[in-house]
Structure 1
Amino acid sequence: MEALRRTHTVIHLGIQAPDAKTLPVLVELDDPEHPKITVSVAKFARYLQREGVYSYDKLRKAVIAIGKLRDFYLCERGGEMLTPDGMKSLLEDFLFAIDHGTILNWRPASNHDYLQTRSAVFEYVKFLLDNPSVDWPTHELRFIAACRDAWQNATHAEKSLLFHTKKRGRKKARGRKRIVTGLRHYKPFPPDLVVPLIEHTKNIRDKLLFSLMAFGGRRLSEMLHLFVGDVEARGLSVGVVLRHPSQSPMKWTSATGATVKGSRVEYLRNMFQLLPRTEHGAQPSAAGWKGMKFDDEARMSSEVYFIREVESYLLTLHRAYLHEVRSKVPRRPHPYYFVALDGEPLTIRAVEKQFSLACRRLEKKYGVSLEGYGPHSLRHYYGFYCADVLRADLLLIQKWMGHAQPSSTAVYAHISPETAAKALADAQIQAKLDGRVSITPEEREAIAQSFAGQSIEPIPEAWRLDSTRFGMLDTRNLQRPLR
């Protein structure tokens, strides 16, 4: 297959800014021996970053989209000054090519990617129009002029084909169907292997983290934003509260002994000279934060709700982690709960590696394939358990999982075909018991006996622990180094 044709690359440039650590920039490779940063795109990206509307990942995708527009202009249009008609169709033809993947070996874009590309390109062109007096570098002037003229020459823009894609924001009755692959399919971690996964995890930190995700149903990135004070013992159970990584209010004692009230971003800056992990850009320490429905909107906090009565087990892991693991790693100036061997905040990449190693152990022991599963599949397991086993209401599952919209919960709250078939059979039996369907006395007696003795499979007995021992925890694992 022929390689993709492009005249650029995207790199992450380290910057010194009060609100960010890196910035995605477009590097022109027209002359590979003398690459140049596209200043207009860098300024545009920094403008979006300061505004705080785009996440870093969306910002990176916006820069990639502008790079594709530049490829289209140079490779398909030859980079020459175009006629007015050519200018008018530049953006339209580019969007058509993105949509259908007809040139430069592009693949047809999904609706989501298409709309992101369209939005990024339009915002970039508007940024250029709003800054007409900027003295741009000479090597960018032709491309900038082409973008400006393409927009200005698209007369009657609301009726132009340039805006034909507005209908893509609504559900289309007809059109091309996309093939969805990977974990975008509904894919919970196999329910019968969740406990073995935790039991075969080699250190306490990862046992605790995987347990919180599987039985608490929250995202990995949310777990990595936890401060030490967000996890606490509550009698014989453990309590975990998620708080917005930058805006959630808090109170702390300053170096001078004064009590200070402020937000988390102020706490991190004043006490540790740190930015929230959402602002670490392309650095390994970065962790995202998706919108969630808070239990307490004023404090921007959300309780973690646990299934399978594992709170006492989690409390044991929490204590073991603090006393046997975290107290032995080097102390670093940060408040984060989960740390690596060097004491620095635990990274997403490190968790994914440990999860993969645990999966390989299960594959070797049980002869199964866990290819394609990631830590996020534990969150899917939580949604599956709540819907398929507990048969909980969708609005309750939404609250437990912290989704802002019920439509997001519906992706996770999957009902297995076996449960659906049994529910239908039970509904028919119930109709007979209620007298809505005719039934004989013999059938009624048989039905009553069939319902006797049903129960949900309990958690392992070894997990029901008292505070004086660590139960299933292998003491040899306490000495294993964190990876």
Structure 2
Amino acid sequence: MEGPTAGRSIPALFLMDGELSLFSLSWARTMMIIEGMSPMHLYKCISSVGLLYDFYLICYGGRVLAPHEMPMLMRDFFEARAYGNSLLGWSSVGRKSAKKDVRYASEFSKYCAKNFNTIQVNPTERKLLVDLNISEQIQFFSKLEHRKKWDFLGHLTPTTELGQGIITELSVNPKTGRINQKKNKSYFPPDKVLKLISATTNIRDKLALMLLFFGGLRESEILHLYVTDITTPDGDTEIRIGHPELSIYEWDDQFRGKQVGNRQTFLEQRYGLTSRNKLGLTHPYHAGWKGMMYAKRDRYLEADFYWLLPDVGRYFAKLHRIYQHQHRAGILDSHPYYFINLYGDSYGTATKMSNLTKIFYRAAERIGLSSTDRGVNPHGARHFYGYFLASFLKIPIEKAQVMLRHASIASTEVYYSIDDRAVRDELHKAYQKLSDDIPEFISELKRLDMQEIM
């Protein structure tokens, strides 16, 4: 991680003749610099364009298409991605992923039409709500109602074209549909959580897994933590989760004294580094950053942190002090990150995503779990956090949204899974309470009847 711009890259698409696609390069540059898209988003967008290009060459022979043939190209491309294509050796990726490929490729086509005067492969169309069939109208109103859950400007919707029943969508816009079935249990097996943490080989690994399971942090969020983000007041642990670029940060400069800026400025001035989420996807120190709900602290762009169980926070504080004394405090000041490598020539360098993944799966293997088992993956720990909130702590979903730091409650619904046993227990308690109240209720009725007779 040397230099403030180290690892910043734009994904490139090479054409059949070996030439670089300048159109896709221009689009990627616009998304990165003007729109501030993440490296992962850039990669997905250019990959989708590349897939469409391959499909066009192999299945359509690269011939010039008339405007009326282009929608058919997009429909065929969707089917090839969704269900597989033997000619290209593609296996099925499912309708949801295929629809994203169509959307990204369509956005590229729209960009080219606007900036290079090309024909739009998948043009947008304006429709009136009254022209839709009943099923589509029901779906429209359902989406409009769902919008109220996440759109803070939802009250302005009636003044927009959408609120007035004018719908703009791609001419080829595949429906993915929803299968009305019980949610998959994607959370890590609850009875194996403590065993997994115990199966780790060093104190750093225990700290990392405790943040995953009992702090609900994502893998990438752990890798962005600074040493100064973790404090242990009164034997407890407080975690500061700041945006890796924009969160306000204070530090001492050897020559200029106390400085105040954002984290990106701090990294550049103090270490000559750039934030890990801005590094290229192939850079070994890359760590993504997902949007979240930030606390209402002016300009600070920080999120609140909640331990699932207070006792875990106190235990974390004890391990933290040992980790600091034995490892973190003694390394050269070459980066600010909390988690470091503990072995070999890389001792003291920042922990990579690949390191964290290996930590997890090696511990899982020691307790007899496989990566193919449902929920046995690092993100399954965050699902466990949501499952525990819903099934055991019975935290309302609105509060769970805050604890999971989701910008939209729709995201929380994916994690908020209630165990069947918890449902049965609640029904049993409700039934028992009803049974206990019935005699008193009947007695009260009898008293009312006697009063009316008298």
How high is the TM-score relative to the length of structure 2?
0.77
Q: Is the 8 A contact 1:44 1:127 kept in 2?
A: yes
Q: Following the alignment from structure 1 to structure 2, what is the Cα–Cα distance between the partners of residues 230 and 272?
A: 17
Q: Is the 8 A contact 2:2 2:272 kept in 1?
A: no
Are residues 1:361 and 2:366 paired? yes
Could you say which residue in structure 2 is the equivalent of 1:239? 238
Q: Which runs of 5+ in 2 are unaligned?
A: 128-167, 444-454
Q: Following the alignment from structure 1 to structure 2, what is the Cα–Cα distance between the partners of residues 73 and 166?
A: 19
Deviation, structure 1 residue 436? 7.4
Q: For 1:43, give the aligned amino acid.
A: S
Could you say which residue in structure 1 is the equivalent of 2:291? 291
Q: Is the 8 A contact 2:11 2:25 kept in 1?
A: yes
Q: Which runs of 5+ in 1 are unaligned?
A: 1-13, 134-147, 441-483
Could you say which residue in structure 2 is the equivalent of 1:199? 198
Are residues 1:388 and 2:391 paired? yes
Q: Structure 1 residues 257, 41: closer, same or farther in 2, change over 3 A? A: same
Q: Deviations over 1:70-126 (max 9, x none)?
A: 112211221223345445644454445445546645455545423422332222223
Question: 1:23 aligns to what SS in structure 2?
Answer: coil
Could you say which residue in structure 2 is the equivalent of 1:163? 170
Q: Following the alignment from structure 2 to structure 1, what is the Cα–Cα distance between the partners of residues 179 and 426?
A: 31
Q: Following the alignment from structure 2 to structure 1, what is the Cα–Cα distance between the partners of residues 391 and 110?
A: 49
Could you say which residue in structure 1 is the equivalent of 2:26? 43
Q: For 2:332, give the aligned amino acid.
A: R
Q: Is the 8 A contact 1:249 1:262 kept in 2?
A: yes
Q: Deviations over 1:337-363 (max 9, x none)?
A: 111132221111101101111111111
Q: Is the 8 A contact 1:91 1:150 kept in 2?
A: no
Are residues 1:225 and 2:224 paired? yes
Q: Following the alignment from structure 1 to structure 2, what is the Cα–Cα distance between the partners of residues 15 and 165?
A: 45
Q: Following the alignment from structure 1 to structure 2, what is the Cα–Cα distance between the partners of residues 178 and 77?
A: 37
Q: Structure 1 residues 358, 36: closer, same or farther in 2, change over 3 A? A: same
Q: For 2:55, give the aligned amino acid.
A: F
Q: For 1:271, give the aligned amino acid.
A: R
Q: Deviations over 1:224-246 (max 9, x none)?
A: 11111110111111111111111
Question: 1:251 aligns to what SS in structure 2?
Answer: strand
Q: Is the 8 A contact 2:13 2:50 kept in 1?
A: yes
**Percent identical residues:** 30
Question: 1:250 aligns to what SS in structure 2?
Answer: strand
Q: Following the alignment from structure 2 to structure 1, what is the Cα–Cα distance between the partners of residues 65 and 181?
A: 37
Deviation, structure 1 residue 157? 4.7
Q: Structure 1 residues 438, 157: closer, same or farther in 2, change over 3 A? A: closer
Q: Is the 8 A contact 1:246 1:263 kept in 2?
A: yes
Q: Deviations over 1:289-335 (max 9, x none)?
A: 1111122342211232112322221111111111112234x425211
Q: Is the 8 A contact 2:125 2:171 kept in 1?
A: no
Q: Is the 8 A contact 1:205 1:325 kept in 2?
A: no
Q: Following the alignment from structure 2 to structure 1, what is the Cα–Cα distance between the partners of residues 65 and 370?
A: 55
Q: Following the alignment from structure 1 to structure 2, what is the Cα–Cα distance between the partners of residues 439 and 190?
A: 46
Q: Following the alignment from structure 2 to structure 1, what is the Cα–Cα distance between the partners of residues 424 and 180?
A: 29
Q: Is the 8 A contact 2:224 2:287 kept in 1?
A: yes
Could you say which residue in structure 1 is the equivalent of 2:337? 336
Question: 2:290 aligns to what SS in structure 1?
Answer: coil
Q: Is the 8 A contact 1:432 1:438 kept in 2?
A: no
How high is the TM-score relative to the length of structure 1?
0.73
CA RMSD of aligned residues (A): 3.3
Q: Following the alignment from structure 2 to structure 1, what is the Cα–Cα distance between the partners of residues 381 and 198?
A: 15
Q: Deviations over 1:364-402 (max 9, x none)?
A: xxxx65644112222222222222111121122221221
Q: Following the alignment from structure 1 to structure 2, what is the Cα–Cα distance between the partners of residues 53 and 226?
A: 22
